[in-house]
Amino acid sequence: MICRINSATEFKSALTDNQVVVLDAFATWCGPCKAIAPRVVKLSEDYPAAHFIKIDVDELPEVSQELGIRAMPTFIIFKGEQKVAEVVGANPQALENAIRSAVEGVEAKA
């Protein structure tokens, strides 16, 4: 499951409350974002130890700026609130590799 984030406060809470977070920064007008979306849903099912969130860069420009997002889609993986990986563009294999690396040794939440 992917949680839609609607505020900077929700974003900060997601990072604080979860050991591994996969952020999908997208835009509604972005073709590659739409193309990779079903694969991201599948990854969220395949990697239950990670908490998947998404932000619309046009709705949360302050979060996008803070994270330095310049292209969509951008995926940022956080572990223990620290950024550990970033994948720019619709590259499902690179994204899966980054997620797999981040969740190694992390138990799925019950």
The distance of Cα 105 from the centroid of its chain, to the nearest Å, equals 19
Task: Mark whether 30 is an active-site residue.
Answer: yes
Catalytic residue among 14, 33, 36, 55: 33
Task: Mark whether 33 is an active-site residue.
Answer: yes
Buried b / exposed e along 47-75 (16+ C-beta atoms within 10 A): bebbbbbbbbbeebeebbeebebeebbbb
Residues whose CB is less than 8 angstroms from the CB of residue 109 and which lie 6 or more positions away in sequence, other chains included: 18, 48, 49, 51
Catalytic residue among 22, 30, 57, 60: 30
- Strands, DSSP E only, in the chain? 2-4, 20-26, 51-56, 74-79, 82-88
Beta bridge partners of 2: 52
Which residues are catalytically annotated? Answer: 30, 33
